[in-house]
């Protein structure tokens, strides 16, 4: 399960018939402390995908300045 915050709605002129009458929302994934971790996920996912696709053994270091950021990076890196 993920926590999320609604940050907008989607407007479409054409919908898939199954979605007629449905409200489409834009949801941002958040941490338990209600802070977004979107940027961190993009950074980690991009680097991990690159390493996987290229077979590179390079060492990657993420530089963070806040303890909360360090916790988020560790959490994301440990899932891979």
pLDDT tens digits for range 36-72:
667 778 788 888 888 888 998 888 888 887 887 888 8
Q: Residue 78: pLDDT band by 50, 70, 90 thresholds?
A: confident
Q: What is the pLDDT averaged over residues 1-16?
A: 78
Half-sphere exposure (CA, 13 Å, Cβ side) for 9?
A: 4
pLDDT at position 35, please?
A: 66
Determine whether 76 is exposed, middle or buried from the number of CB atoms within 10 Å of its CB (0-12, 13-18, 19+): middle
Asked if residue 31 has pLDDT above 80, the reply is: no
């Amino acid at each position: 399960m993920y926590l999320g915050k609604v940050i907008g709605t989607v407007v479409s002129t054409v919908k898939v018939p199954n979605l007629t009458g449905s409200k489409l929302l834009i949801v941002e994934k958040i941490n338990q402390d209600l802070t977004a971790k979107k940027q961190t996920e993009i950074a980690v996912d991009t680097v991990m995908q690159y390493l996987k696709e290229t077979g590179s053994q390079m060492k990657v270091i993420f530089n963070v300045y806040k303890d909360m950021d360090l916790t988020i990076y560790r959490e994301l890196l440990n899932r891979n």
